[in-house]
Amino acid sequence: MKKKHEMKVLSVETIAKETIEMKLYQPEVSKQTVPGQFLHLLVPGFTLRRPISIAKVDKQEGTITILFKVVGGGTKSLAAYQPGMTVDALGPNGNGFSIDDVPEGGRVLLIGGGIGVPPIYHLAKRLSEKNVELVAVLGFQSKDYVFYEDAFKEIAETYVVTNDGSYGHQGFVTHVFPEVGAFDQYFSCGPLPMLRAVTTELKDTAGKVSLEERMGCGVGACMACVLPTVDNSYKKICSDGPVFSAQEVIL
C-alpha cells in the first residue's frame, strides 16, 4: 500500500533567484525514486498539494533533494521551512525517465529549461553511471536564475542559454542545437513552449519529454492534468507521466 511520508527537512538554500533547493531525509522514498519522478507536498493552509521535482537522491544518506521556484503563496510558505521541520509528502509519484534503451557508448542530449532543470540533473547523474556521452543544454530567463551549471559540467558537455543573453548564449535552448553535434536520443524537461520547440526541432530523433501541469489529486484520479496522445486518446501527466515519448503525445 502507498502511504504519506513525513520527511525531515535537513537544509533549505536559495541557490538562484526565486529558486530553492531543499534537502529532505526519508530513506524509504530515497531508495525507490528514479529520475523524473516527483513529490507531492502538502503545505498547511493550502487546499492542493504542490508537485515538486526531484534533483538528486542519495540512497546511502537516505536523502532526497528537491528544487522549486517561489511563484505563489504555497511555494513561498514552503521556502520558509527550517531544518528540523517535517513536510508531508506523497511519492515518489509518476513514472520517471526510462534509460534502459540508452545504448552503451551512445551520445545523449539533455535539455532542461528553468525549473525543468532539476529532474534533468537527476537523470544526468544516473546516465553518468553508464558508459554514455552526455551533452546538456540548460535554458534560463537570465543570469540571476542560472543554477547547477558547475554540477552539469562535471558530467556533461554543458551549454547555458539565457533568454535575455545576460549569461551564456542568448535566446532559446533550440538555438544551440546546431552546435551540439550528433546524438542518439534526447531527454527534455521544461515549460510547454520550450518542449514544443524542442520536439518540433528534433522531430526525427527519439526523445522523451517530461511535462508539468496544474494538478488536482496527483495520483491519477481527478483527470485535471490530461494530455492528448497521437492515437486519439489521452494520458494523465501525474500518473501515466510526467515523462512521455515525444512521439506519443500532442503538446
Partner 1 sequence: MNLEVKLPGLALKNPIMPASGCFGFGKEYSEFYDLSRLGAIIMKAATQFERFGNPTPRVAETSSGMLNAIGLQNPGVERIIANEVPRLAEYDTSIIANVAGSSLEEYIFVTKAFNETNDVNALELNISCPNVKEGGIQFGTDPEMAKKVTAAVKEASNLPVYVKLSPNVTNIAEMAKAVEEAGADGLSMINTLTGMKLHLPTGKPLIANQTGGLSGAAIKPIAIRMIYEVRQQVSIPIIGMGGITTAEDALEFLQAGADAVAVGTANFQNPFACVDIIDALPETLIKYQYTSVQDVIDRRSAVV
Indicate the annotated binding residues for FAD.
50-53, 74-75
User: Does 78 contact partner 1 by CB under 8 A?
Assistant: no
Q: By CB under 8 A, name the one of 95, 219, 248, 251 that touches partner 1.
A: 219
CB of 52 vs partner 1, minimal distance in Å: 15
* Separation of alpha carbons 40 and 80, rounded Å: 17
Does 251 interact with partner 1 (rule: CB under 8 A)? Answer: no
Interface with partner 1 in residues 58-77 (CB under 8 A): 74
Nearer to partner 1, 166 or 239 (CB): 239
DSSP 153: H
Q: List the one residue out of 214, 190, 197 whose CA is nearest residue 139.
A: 190
- Asked whether position 215 contacts partner 1 by CB under 8 A, the answer is yes
248 lies in the binding site for partner 1 (CB under 8 A): no
Alpha-carbon dihedral angle through residues 142, 171, 251, 147, given to the nearest 10 degrees: -30
Please identify, using beta-carbon distances, which residue of 42 and 70 lies nearer to partner 1: 42
Rounded to whole angstroms, how far apart are CA atoms 220 and 111?
Answer: 27
Using CA atoms, how far apart are residues 97 and 110, in angstroms rounded to an integer? 12
What is the rounded CA–CA span in Å between residue 168 and residue 246? 27
CB of residue 47 to partner 1, shortest distance in Å: 5
Query: CA-CA distance, 213 to 180, in Å (whole number)?
Result: 29
- Taking CB under 8 A as the rule, does residue 231 contact partner 1? no
Contacts (CB under 8 A) with partner 1, residues 31-60:
42, 46-49
Segment 113 to 152, residues that bind partner 1, using CB under 8 A: none
Q: Please answer whether residues 197 and 174 qualify as being in contact, where contact means their C-beta atoms are separated by less than 8 angstroms.
A: yes
Residues at the binding site for [2Fe-2S] cluster are 217, 222, 225, 238
Here the cell at position 64 is 532526497
Interface with partner 1 includes 193 (CB under 8 A)? no
Which residues make up the interface to partner 1 (CB under 8 A)? 1-4, 42, 46-49, 74, 90, 213-228, 234, 239
